[in-house]
Amino acid sequence: MKHFGSFLFFLLFFMFGSTTPILGLYFTKHLGFGGLESGIILSLAAAGGIIAPTIGLSIADRLISSERLLAVMLFGASTVLFSLSFITEFKIFAPVYFLMALFTSNILPLGNAVIFHHLKDKNKYGRIRLWGTIGWICAAWFFGYVWMNPFFNPHPQLSQAFILGSCASLILGISVLFIKIKRTHKPQVKAKFKGFINKEALSVLRSSKGMRYAAVIFIAACSDKFYMYAAAPYLKASGIKENSVSPFLTLGQLSEIFAMIFLSVIVVKFGYRATIIAGSVFNMIRYAMFILPSGVFIFPGIFCHGIAYTLVFPVITIMVDQLCSEKDRAGVHQIYGMITGGAASIVGNIFCGRVLDYFTSGGITDFKKFWLIPLTMTLIQVISVFYLIEYKRKSRFFVTQEISET
């Protein structure tokens, strides 16, 4: 299962890494969408991130195994991603992108549920998740320097990133469907539909810890949307060639690899709260470096992204999983997926789009002022973590023997 989990995360993030880094650049420079229009598209996708998991969590591990539902979502995502590469009008692109989100919003939570179900030593999650980062890096470099190279592709187009993501999704869907692994759940043929809301999973969210974790991950996800959307246009405005934007952004994923390798050691040494606070501080440093007048700090700022991401989101994911039982694991991860990929994305993307338009005049964006907004948001994030995450010197979630081997 360890090897399959690594393969799953590699192709899953290869799919995301093919398209996500260039979305902001593709929307503004190639399709001619404004900041608000781009924010609307991404927010529609976020709405899909709320609707889709609502249905997914109602049937995952109850009427259908998480693996089979994951395969269905991957096949659907592959089809829609392929069609997006040929659409240029806002009125058509927006609803189709929303349809894509109905499929993709279930993929990562279901993938996490499958991985956690089969892991006996939960601390190995970091090592398996590491392959997702590697997949993201491979996608960015392959697309930027192979797919977009006229030597290999006579007619390179930025829109073809969706085709590459479609291929990865299709391969992963076939693999999940046909590779023999123990299913997370054997649904009963006569199982009755009990509604779209998994009450057991909701009870986890309503608990004191569940609410506090949800608040922290919401704030963190909102501030992260500024980087995810504006980093590519920022690099292009700083003089980076278009085909080099995605590969340069993988500097953040390289630092994520190192942070992921030592994640379990860091958490055991310093505890959950200190780890997440450290990640939030790196988030602040990233935005502060983007504001500094000299462009020499751009790449150190990107490098901080991987550390900031790893010390926040995977750690909260692990904390959330501690609240789960076998019956509600998929549902709980779906709910938190709705928060990060749904609610936080709607708020973060629309807010980011409005801020981008506000600081843009004559097609030129004042990024120095733009980055001040997410910098302020990350300060709020640090304060929220300090008050909402309980202090634990050592995590019972990580096995001491595995840490000593590391």
In a domain, 400, yes or no: no
pLDDT at 403: 32
pLDDT at 130: 80
In a domain, 403, yes or no: no
CATH of the domain at 50: 1.20.1250.20
In a domain, 186, yes or no: no
> What distance in Å separates the CA atoms of residue 21 and residue 260, rounded to the nearest whole number?
20
User: Which residue type, as a one-letter code, is found at position 382?
Assistant: V
Read off the pTM: 0.74
Tokens of 52: 């889709």
pLDDT digits (tens, 9 = 90+) for 120-137: 666 667 678 788 888 988
In a domain, 401, yes or no: no
In a domain, 23, yes or no: yes
Q: What residues of the chain score a pLDDT lower than 50? A: 187-191, 193, 395-406
In a domain, 24, yes or no: yes
pLDDT at 302: 93
pLDDT at 400: 36
pLDDT at 127: 75
Backbone φ, ψ for residue 190 (5° rounding): -100, 20
Element (H, E) at 362: none
In a domain, 374, yes or no: yes
The residues, ordered by sequence, that sit 6+ positions from 180 with a Cβ below 8 Å of its Cβ are none
In a domain, 187, yes or no: no
Residues spanned by the domain of 272: 2-179+197-395
Tally of structural domains, the chain: 1
